[in-house]
Amino acid sequence: MKQPSRWITSALLAGLALGAAAGQAADTAAAATAATSTEASAWQHHKAKFDYFGFTSAYSCDGLEGKVGQILKFFGARDPKVQASGCPRGPDSLSHSVWVNVEFDTLAAASVETPAGEVVQARWTPFKLNAQRPFFMGAGDCELIDRMKPMLLANFSLRNLSYDASCTPYEETFADFRVNGEVLKSAAEHAG
């Protein structure tokens, strides 16, 4: 059987590489278009509660209020109010069991009944949350992210979501939790 010449093999490889590059460029262009397109949305008010019970990490009520507030803002919540209770020796004492009440606003797709003055332009914004990102998260936050999951899923507009919190009691690793996907955020956040 006759072997193809080196020139033909090189030309075929170059053609395949160009095809792959063109496909990547098209994917990049589609992603850029999706990132710049906006959709009509409106703010919705939410009240929720969850309990934190952790074997691995203890939080003070003040510390947990701050951490939960940061997570809610990271997901695009407006004006989060967080109240934690259950710290037996005061708000700055550590506890493994805390009750948390939250109140905040999030964006959801606008309906035809939404008054024009209440319509907010929003974008689907990619996010990654793990023990190293964003800066305020740490390896000991796995149980908190696990306990917050139902509240986050019920109150935020999320898509392409991957939510993995594999917490092992009394162990902390950087791979315990990974949450990523897209969340609907105000387009004004992207302008600044």
Asked whether residue 187 is assigned to any structural domain, the reply reads yes
- Run of H or E including 90: none
**CA dist 174 to 46, 80, 98, 133, 137, Å?**
31, 27, 24, 10, 10
Asked whether residue 182 is assigned to any structural domain, the reply reads yes
Asked whether residue 24 is assigned to any structural domain, the reply reads no
Domain that holds residue 177: 38-111+119-191
pLDDT: which is higher, 49 or 5: 49
Asked whether residue 82 is assigned to any structural domain, the reply reads yes
Q: What pTM, to 2 d.p., does this model score? A: 0.79
The reported pLDDT for the residue numbered 153 is 97
Asked whether residue 79 is assigned to any structural domain, the reply reads yes
Asked whether residue 162 is assigned to any structural domain, the reply reads yes
Half-sphere exposure of 87 (CA within 13 A, CB side): 19
For the chain, how many structural domains are there in total?
A: 1
Asked whether residue 11 is assigned to any structural domain, the reply reads no
> Is residue 29 over pLDDT 70?
no
Asked whether residue 175 is assigned to any structural domain, the reply reads yes
pLDDT per residue over 69-123, tens digit each?
Answer: 999 999 999 999 999 999 988 888 999 999 999 999 999 999 989 999 999 999 9
Share of residues in the chain with pLDDT > 90 (%)? 68
